[in-house]
Amino acid sequence: MDTPKVFESEYRFCLILWEREPVTSGELVKLCRERLGWKPTTTYTVIKRLSERGVLKNEHAVVTALVTRDQVQAAEIDELVEKKFSGSLPAFLSAFVRHRRLTPAELDQVQEMIDRYRRGEDDE
């Protein structure tokens, strides 16, 4: 199953949800007012929209996520690489490192990820 698209403002909402779930919709309204400056109607609209798209579930006013932060981030990266780099991960990485200096520690982390991948190990 493909991960449903989560837009930027919805992602900020999801960050709150993932941190607190399971959480009541009333508590989400309060948290979104405090952290995002949203009106209650905005929060309820986002809950409804994300529920319809299969991102979360709202049963008896208790909201839980159906997708993880990692799944949403991975889908966003896949879309970016496909859209901007014709699906080429090496082209994406090349553009990334041309514009952002990696520290020696970051280079070591990336190399370790590559080494684990080659050995067929999970990433964490």
Say if CB 92 and CB 85 are below 8 A apart.
Answer: yes
Q: Are residues 64 and 103 in the same domain?
A: no
Are 57 and 92 members of one domain? no
Tens-place pLDDT, residues 12-40: 999 999 999 999 999 999 999 999 999 99
Residue 59: which domain range?
8-69
How far does CA 101 lie from the centroid of its chain? 24
User: Model confidence over 40-96: pLDDT tens digits?
Assistant: 999 999 999 999 999 999 999 999 999 999 999 999 999 999 999 999 999 998 998
This prediction's pTM: 0.80
Asked if residues 26 and 7 have their Cβ atoms less than 8 Å apart, the reply is no
Query: Could you give the number of structural domains in the chain?
Result: 2
